[in-house]
Amino acid sequence: MATEAAEIDRPLLVDDVLERRRYQLRLAASAADAHTLVCLPTGLGKTTVSLFVTAERLHEAGGKALFLAPTKPLVQQHADFYREALAIPDEEIVVFTGDVKPDDRAAVWDDARVVIATPQVVENDLVGNRVSLRDVTHCTFDECHRATGDYAYVYIAERYHADAADPLVTGMSASPGGDTEEIETVCENLGLANVEVMTEADADVDEYTHDTDVRWEQVTLPDEVLAIRDALNEVIADRLEKLKQLGVTNSTNPDLSQRDLNEMRGKLKEMMDNDQSEGYKGMSTHAEVMKLRRAVELVETQSVESVRRYFERQREAARSSGASKASQRMVADPKVREAMRKAESFDGLHPKFSKARILLAETLGINEGERAILFTESRDTAEALVEFLSASFDVRKFVGQGDKEGSDGMSQKQQQETLDEFKDGEFEVLVSTSVAEEGLDVPEVDLVCFYEPVPTAIRSIQRKGRTGRQAEGQVVVLMAEDTRDEAFFWISRRREKKMAEQLAELKAATDDIEESVGAGGQAGLDAFAGSERDAESAAIDGGGGDEEDDDSESDGDDPDSDAVGDTATGDTAASDDPGLTDFAAEARKGGDGDSDDGSEADADTEATADTDDAVVATAGVEEGVEIVVDQRELDSSIAKDLSTRDGLVTRLETLAVSDYVLSDRVAVERKAAADFVDSMLDADRSLFEQVGELSRAYARPVLVVEGANLYGQRDIDPNAIRGALASLAVDFDVSVLRTEDEADTTELLATIARREQETRDREVSVHGEKTTKTRAEQQEYVVSSIADIGPVTARSLLEHFGTVEAVMTAREDDLLEVDGVGQVTAERIREVVGSEYE
């Protein structure tokens, strides 16, 4: 191995670390020339291919490399590998995860040559303008099949192609998608124009793979378990009958497909949008069906212990304040309570437990194997299996980092230690949830056992890739007869076969696909670079830009009195105000009309319809219209969309007041329609408290209410909502603006920010802080919480008795003398205050 490794004549590689494999070198050569998707079976060194490309790019083009992986353990594993294999000082290969403070990340970015990071962290740093991708000469997306929808890979790739001076992208996956369309979507989202596929049938690869024997084992559920399932299915059928009466389904069969349930939910949502009260009741019933189906799935495919734990969590949820009606109805139903009792009294083993123990005994005992992995979807099942199997084998669990009810997660350090010990042979059985599927360097094993079939081709292939690398191994799938397991199994087999066929077709037709994807990708990149510049040159130069502003307070004669939130009071210079055409021009304008390469844009070019979709380089830019974004707004797409706009610079902060700061006087609080109504009812931090702080901190406070059906949210009288809107505008002097969706809000924020900073020549200034409740507010809060009597009665009590203490010690007869306090309320107050605490 050392001799072969020495033959790899590549810059920046440490001698005697890497084995020479022809297929890796061939793939790296292709990936070094173009944006490339590399498809290679699990365990055959996709990371080595990317490392070869990184080494060459750093040597030839300089700059830095960015390697993105979906999980913290993967990031750490890749960093260890890069530090071992690259002839670069360890301190120049840095790890960026959520565990590293943002300021620390920004400080080390400039000096790093290789950054290995989770995508969410890089996404946040790009939105916050903390880092620049300009000097990144190679960007690797590991497990790139994730690059769909809103996943951070999509945004980062978009920004990378726009921001980098000399970009090169490598996407890596063993399973890029379930069909050709998914594969093309991944390529388009990452800007990949070249596709390189190698399968185990390739001569160069074949010598490094071994056969993987796949078989399935059926188990039969005992009558006691079937009785639990049947009791739950009766309740599901009853709830489906209610939904049938609403006209959203024609079937009461408990085995309805997920697609059918999704269609039901869509119909109920339409009813809710049309203000039909039956829609709300139906949605609650639908939620109950989903909870019951989960219980059935657990008892069929996991274990009775899992369903026991599930029922216990549902009972706790039903007892909690704010519990959903669905949870309360479910645990109160006699049939469900019967199923709970049966589960509590069951003292046998789920047949999958017994079969798993037999398989492990055969593999590790009779066949003298060394290691085995048992995968399960459920953490409850994983913990129960570890406890059960520990009597016969040396077993450890491997689960995610997040804590769940009744179960602690594993830290990144614990995860890595567990994998290291598994590799070193310190224990023989790893019981893992899906966290160990993707890419982690779990050593080759003699057995991979699926506790349940996996209905997704990507996950199935990832799991099976854990065996069959260095020696022959086997994969066993456990299936409970006549349950969802069988349906999932056949779906999985069909999808996996389809993916294998498509990868073979992909390999045979790469030229055609590359031509299709490459043409589309180039058009997209051209749009990134050009369409905003086209928009700039076509924009009409708006009026009002010559107005002077001495930053004085508006008194009605100030030329700024037409600004956001102002009412038409006093004498305004109407003739100097921007008109509608000028506002449109402001919204389109983004810079000085120059293109990124310094050449002047064509002044006669018309603005294209794709203007809003264009992405331009803004990362690391310090000049331009600045928008300060609250960290908590990253859950929406607004901050990301703003960060890609030409001439806009986003900055992330944890804002005490508002969601967006657009100038020294304009700050915006954004509320989705449902959130707006909820915050009206929030006793801890009401809408009016938030808006009050906003209006005290900024001269021009703005509230954006986003989304349709404002008056159909919850069961609130529309006039109460109108009253709240009126109060905000009249009593708090807040501009209340409505937008259709997040995209509309993005446009509005950009327009206001440009108007404030370009037309008005104002600067951004963050100020304001959350105010604590006054003493009177605190007293009202304490009294109002007694027996849920509410703020109005609380004020009456305090006005009558003078102090909280006097209210607490008042006799029932004295309480009855207060306006608004009747016999029932007086008795409840005395009961709460005078009863012993238990």
Give tens-digit pLDDT for 373-417: 998 888 888 888 999 999 999 999 988 776 665 567 788 788 888
- What is the chain's mean pLDDT, rounded? 78
**Of 84-93, 431-440, 576-585, which gets the smallest average pLDDT?**
576-585
On whether the CB atoms of residues 649 and 758 are closer than 8 A, the answer is no
Half-sphere exposure of 367 (CA within 13 A, CB side): 17
pLDDT above 90 (res 357):
yes
pLDDT tens-place string over residues 512-540: 556 666 554 444 444 333 333 333 333 32
CA gap 6, 16 in Å, rounded: 6
Q: Residue 607's pLDDT is what?
A: 30
Confidence of residue 592 (pLDDT cuts 50, 70, 90): very low
Q: Residue 349's pLDDT is what?
A: 83
Confidence of residue 255 (pLDDT cuts 50, 70, 90): confident
Confidence of residue 610 (pLDDT cuts 50, 70, 90): very low
pLDDT above 80 (res 198):
yes
pLDDT above 50 (res 580):
no
| Helix (H) or strand (E) run with residue 494 in it | helix 484-508
On whether the CB atoms of residues 650 and 639 are closer than 8 A, the answer is yes
pLDDT tens-place string over residues 170-184: 999 877 765 677 888
CA gap 529, 620 in Å, rounded: 17
CA gap 736, 112 in Å, rounded: 46
pLDDT above 70 (res 593):
no
Q: Residue 642's pLDDT is what?
A: 93
On whether the CB atoms of residues 172 and 214 are closer than 8 A, the answer is no
Cα-atom radius of gyration of the chain, to the nearest Å? Answer: 31
pLDDT tens-place string over residues 776-791: 878 887 887 776 676 7
Three-state DSSP class for 148? coil
CA gap 67, 71 in Å, rounded: 12
Question: Of the candidates 162, 137, 147, which has an alpha carbon nearest to the alpha carbon of residue 64?
Answer: 137
The mean pLDDT of 496-520, rounded to a whole number, is: 63
Three-state DSSP class for 305? helix
Q: Residue 202's pLDDT is what?
A: 76
Q: Residue 172's pLDDT is what?
A: 93
Q: Residue 389's pLDDT is what?
A: 93
- Our measurement of the distance from residue 476's CA atom to the centroid of its chain's CA atoms, rounded to an integer in Å, reads 32
Give percent of the chain with pLDDT exceeding 70: 76
The mean pLDDT of 77-84, rounded to a whole number, is: 90
pLDDT tens-place string over residues 532-571: 333 333 332 333 333 333 333 333 333 333 333 333 333 3
Q: Residue 533's pLDDT is what?
A: 31
* Four-residue CA torsion sign, 519, 521, 526, 532: positive
CA gap 282, 415 in Å, rounded: 43
pLDDT above 60 (res 358):
yes
Max mean pLDDT range (268-272, 415-419, 660-664): 660-664
Q: Residue 802's pLDDT is what?
A: 92
pLDDT above 70 (res 755):
yes
On whether the CB atoms of residues 679 and 690 are closer than 8 A, the answer is yes
Three-state DSSP class for 232? helix
Between 674 and 93, residue with greater pLDDT? 93
E-only strand ranges, 411-525 = 429-432, 447-450, 473-480
**Of 54-68, 571-585, 748-762, which gets the smallest average pLDDT?**
571-585
pLDDT tens-place string over residues 795-837: 889 999 999 999 999 998 999 998 888 888 888 888 888 888 8
**Of 4-18, 234-248, 310-324, 539-553, which gets the smallest average pLDDT?**
539-553
CA gap 139, 133 in Å, rounded: 10
Helices (H) and strands (E) in the chain, counts: 32, 19
pLDDT tens-place string over residues 113-150: 999 999 999 999 999 999 999 999 999 999 998 999 88
